[in-house]
Chain A
Amino acid sequence: MLSRVASSIYWMTRYLERTENVARFIDVNLHMMLDLNIEESQQWEPLIITTGDDKQFFKKYDKATQENVVNFLTFDRTNPNSILSTLKSARENARSIKEIISSEMWQQINKFYYKIQDAEKNGIAADSIYDFCNMVKTENHLFIGITDSTMHHDEGWQFARLGRHIERADKTSRILDVKYFILLEKPEDIGTPIDNIQWAALLTSASALEMYRKKFHQISPKKIAQFLVLDREFPRAIKFCIINAEQALHYITGSVLGTFQNEAERQIGKLRAQLDYADIDEIIDTGLHEYLVDSFQMQLNNVGNAINDTFFNI
């Protein structure tokens, strides 16, 4: 497969996953605001720090009000990570490989894009942000379903799977990290009912509340972290994503799992092995934030760079 084509497929699904997760970020923050009496800026500023866009944001806006942040994350064309921008990038990538993907996939991306454009034109009323976020999630889920049921499960499809899971792992780690920021201000709240409400909201944003309840029944921060980081079976858990990305990579190269032929396989193998033998108490001792940002996200970046060097930028 041509490197350019593989790269377009990979970035198409990465951008789409990013689009979906920006909606999840907004969603998690809105959920957490309920029942909380803190200043608006305390609530919204951490969000753009977590997504890594704070510099870009303050170039354009003075204050991290809900309105500004939501604008910035939804339709701001100057923000490359806004819902509109990422979807546009996904569509540009899809357009260049129209003859490789199925026409159903292309139609779905187009439909999705036009829906977002319409929403931009009509504006989102304050009380319909939930619906908007939900629509974004559903449209991407539709795309994933269409991809799985209409595209040949060959090398190209594996690149789609690779891109999606790498992006999702990164975003789950950031959603989890949002919670860290909010708690930072008020350590005395830990373990209180408010705290539990927030954790439940976080699970909801990762579409994880019911699945979590089935497994652990009661809300416990440690178990939630364990669930979102180390679960093998929950599709938005970090470990699940890394296992899937690794499998996709080995399907592409044909080398045996547990071995490596290139830097991409070595980096992801290392990361997966770490997760295999990680323990949640250890992680919490290191500090959840430190683990997510300084260790996991850094290593995931290395994986992304290695994929780029191995397959796309030859």
Chain B
Amino acid sequence: MPNMDLNNYKIENFYDEFFKEPGKPRPGASIVLERFKTLPPGELHKRQKETEARLFQMGVTFTVYGNDEGTERIFPFDIIPRIIEFNEWTNIEYGLKQRIYALNMFLDDIYNDQKIIKDGVIPKEIIQSSNCFKQRCIGLKPPKNIWAHITGTDLIRDKDGKFYVLEDNLRCPSGASYVLENRNVLKRTFPRVFEESNVMSVADYPDKLLSALQYLSPDTMSAPTVVLLTPGQYNSAYYEHSFLAQKMGIEIVEASDLIVSDGFVFMKTTKGLQKVDVIYRRIDDDFLDPQVFRPDSLLGIPGIMNVYKKGHVAIANAPGTGVADDKVVYAYVPKIIKYYMNEDPVLPNVPTYVCWEEKDLQYVLNNIKDLVVKPANESGGYGIVIGPHSSSKELEECAKKISDNPRNFIAQPTIALSRAPIFVDDHFEGRHVDLRPYILYGEEIYVLPGGLTRVALKKGSLMVNSSQGGGSKDTWVLNQKNTNYGDKR
């Protein structure tokens, strides 16, 4: 790597995931850097290109909305891994388990006794006015009392080096397939580094996911039939749906493949109807059952909610979990953890102004140019206004939207997202990153070591979403030294 002068690498006023100071890697990163230094000139560039070609060949793509058939693109990938030290990881893991445990209790409570409202911890109006609070789920008792079986929580690291929770995704979080594919590709790119670094394995995610799903089966007499329900080939995450179905060895079905009959759910096969026990659904609540959620919808499986309520089929995640994704509800999660578990949150929230509250609203309107404003019920980075990056006209429009409907907005200070080096032409440059770990809630709570590191590839950009020009990195959690299981397979 002769033409790469690491002392020129600019850390600036951010936390850098890889370098402690220019040219000096953090302890976990030093093996990787040593290895890079032994590579002949141009080799890193060559391997980056090879990796991209490999991802394209494997068809690791996502679909960009905007035209009739959709455009397939590869999810851009940078070959320099993002490294998380073991001690840091154990803290994150513990914090996530705590958070998911509390959020599950919250969901169970909010759709049943609503003690948390009665005890005055969270205002009734907030819950009632949430788009994702489903009246039709009131009184629901999902199998094994688990609501959010698969969660992808977005974490960010601030200048101070501390991790914060940016948002919870308890509906249909996607991206786990990229974690697995990124790892596969990087193992082939740097086999020797893997041998030396003790990277914790991610390979058993499909097994863990299948076990978590099978655990929900109402039928304890025979091997459960689990299916993955997709909106179809034009969905932006279809690649992931078919990838996970294939890895778990289960059928991938569309709503029209399923039918409710005699109080059970069946799939239509060439050998007739076959009973389905567990549905890993990757479609929104609104499109599950036209009889219940959206009478105007032609999609979905009519009558499935009745079967679900009777306990004859399990659905993961349970309908109604979206209420916990509401960004106003998010602001209350520290209180939710305290209320149900009597513990302080291990992973703090990003400070959040809830425009629904008069005091916060005034503050937001007065300081809008320094804040990030987010709609309460959107995902994928849509509708976000970043104060410091916006024109005064855009800010005016945004302020008007907030005043018109304060319940729909929250605001947060602009966080100086940590950065990690990416490979640009022939040198490293820092780019902002976040982290989405995946949490499975089955017989026990499991956190996939690492998760998806998303990186804003555009210089200076804070938008890491794939729909907004983001890419990804492989995320390495380093196991403690001298333990003898790493990702060497």
Q: Interface readout for B268-298 with A: 1 if CB under 8 Å, 0 if not?
A: 1111110000000000000000000000000
**Chain B: CB-nearest residue to A254:** B271
Q: Is B254 located at the chain interface by the 8 A CB criterion?
A: yes
Contact A3 B270, beta carbon cutoff 8 Å: yes
- Is residue A184 within 8 Å, beta carbon to beta carbon, of the partner chain? no
Known: A98-B242, A155-B270. Is A2-B233 also a contact (CB below 8 A)? no
Chain A residues whose CB sits within 8 angstroms of the CB of B233 once the complex forms: 95-96, 98
Interface residues of A in 70-123 (CB under 8 A from B): 95-96, 98-99, 103
On whether the beta carbons of A99 and B245 are closer than 8 Å, the reply is yes
Chain B positions within 8 Å of A314 at CB level = 268, 272-273
Residues on the A chain within 8 Å of B253, using CB: 2
Q: Is the CB of A2 within 8 A of B245?
A: no
The answer to the question of A268 belonging to the interface, with a C-beta cut-off of 8 Å to chain B, is no
CB distance from A44 to the nearest CB of B (A): 34
User: In the complex, what residues of B have CB within 8 A of residue A3's CB?
Assistant: 257, 268-270
Which residue from chain A places its CB closest to the CB of B254 in the assembled complex?
A: A4
Q: Is A142 an interface residue (CB 8 A)?
A: no
- The reply on A6 being an interface residue by CB < 8 A is yes
Other-chain residue from A6, A99, A252, A311 in contact with B246 (beta carbon distance below 8 A): A99
* Chain B 235-252 interface mask (CB, 8 Å, partner A; 1/0): 000000010011000011
Q: Main SS of the interface on chain A? A: helix
Q: Which residues of B contact A155 (CB under 8 A)?
A: 270
Least CB separation from A99: chain B residue: B242
- Asked if A256 is at the interface (CB within 8 A of a chain B CB), the reply is no
Chain B, residues 205-236, CB within 8 Å of chain A (1/0): the string is 00000000000000000000000000011000
The answer to whether B242 and A2 have CB atoms under 8 Å apart is no
**A1 close to B (CB within 8 Å):** yes
In the complex, A103→B252 CA distance in Å?
A: 18
CB distance from B233 to the nearest CB of A (A): 5
Known: A95-B233, A96-B232, A99-B242. A252 touches B257 (CB 8 A): no
**Interface 1/0 per residue, A1-33 and B, CB below 8 Å:** 111101000000000000000000000000000
Are the CB atoms of B242 and A6 closer together than 8 Å? Answer: no
User: How long is the Cα–Cα vector from A140 to B270 in the complex, in angstroms?
Assistant: 27
CA distance A155 to B59 in the complex (A): 25
Whether the pair B270, A252 counts as a contact (CB closer than 8 A) is yes
**Residues 216-258 of chain A, each 1 if its beta carbon lies under 8 Å from chain B, else 0:** 0000000000000000000000000000000000001000000
Chain B contacts of A2 at CB under 8 A?
251, 253, 257, 267-270
Is B390 in the interface zone, CB < 8 Å from A? no
- Looking at the complex, which one of B232, B245, B269 makes contact with A1 (CB distance below 8 Å)? B269
Whole-angstrom CA separation of A99 from B270 in the bound complex: 18
Most buried by A among B242, B251, B270: B270
Q: Is the interface of B mostly helix, strand, loop or mixed?
A: mixed
Query: Within the assembled complex, what's the spacing in Å between the Cα atoms of A221 and B291?
Result: 63
Determine whether B256 belongs to the interface, using a CB cutoff of 8 Å to chain A.
yes
**B residues less than 8 Å from A6 (CB atoms):** 270
Distance of A4 Cα from B256 Cα, bound (Å): 8
Interface centre among A3, A6, A95, A252 (most CB of B within 10 A): A3
In the complex, which residues of chain A have a beta carbon less than 8 angstroms from the beta carbon of B245? Answer: 99
Which residues of A263-293 have CB atoms within 8 Å of chain B's CB atoms? none
Q: Point out the residues of chain A lying under 8 angstroms from B256, CB to CB.
A: 4
Distance in angstroms from A10 CB to nearest chain B CB is 10
Q: How many angstroms from the CA of A103 to the CA of B253 in the assembled complex?
A: 20
Provide the residues of chain A in CB contact with B267, threshold 8 Å. 2
Cα separation A103 to B273 with both chains bound (whole Å): 29
Nearest-CB residue, chain B, relative to A4: B257
Q: How far, in whole Å, are A206 and B271 apart by their CA atoms in the complex?
A: 36
Residue in contact with B270 in the complex, picked from A1, A95, A98, A103, CB distance below 8 Å: A1
Instruction: Give bound CA distance, A103 to B233, whole Å.
Output: 16
Of B252, B257, B272, which contacts A99 at CB under 8 A?
A: B252
* A252 CA to B269 CA, complexed, in Å: 12
Bound together, the chains give a CA A40 to CA B252 distance in angstroms of 52
User: Contacts of A99 on B, CB cut-off 8 Å?
Assistant: 242, 245-246, 252
Q: Which single residue of chain A is at the shortest CB-CB distance from B274?
A: A2
Question: Would you call A4 and B268 a contact (CB within 8 A)?
Answer: yes
Q: List the A residue with the shortest CB-CB distance to B258.
A: A2
What's the nearest-Cβ distance from chain A to residue B272, in Å?
A: 7
Please name all residues of chain A whose beta carbon is closer than 8 Å to the beta carbon of B232 when the two chains form the complex.
96
How far is the CB of B197 from the nearest CB of chain A, in Å?
A: 32
> How near does chain A come to B187, taking the closest CB pair, in angstroms?
21
Chain B residue at minimum C-beta to C-beta distance from A106: B59
* Given A6-B270, A99-B252, 12 additional A-B pairs, CB 8 A: A1-B271, A2-B269, A3-B268, A4-B254, A4-B257, A98-B59, A98-B242, A103-B59, A252-B270, A311-B270, A314-B268, A314-B272
Q: Which 4 pairs show the lowest CB-CB distances between chains A and B?
A: A3-B268, A99-B242, A311-B270, A6-B270
Residues of A within 8 A of B (CB): 1-4, 6, 95-96, 98-99, 103, 155, 159, 252, 311, 314
Give 25 CB contacts A-B under 8 Å: A1-B270, A2-B253, A2-B267, A3-B257, A3-B268, A3-B269, A3-B270, A4-B254, A4-B256, A4-B257, A4-B268, A6-B270, A95-B233, A96-B233, A98-B59, A98-B233, A98-B242, A99-B242, A99-B246, A99-B252, A155-B270, A159-B270, A311-B270, A314-B272, A314-B273
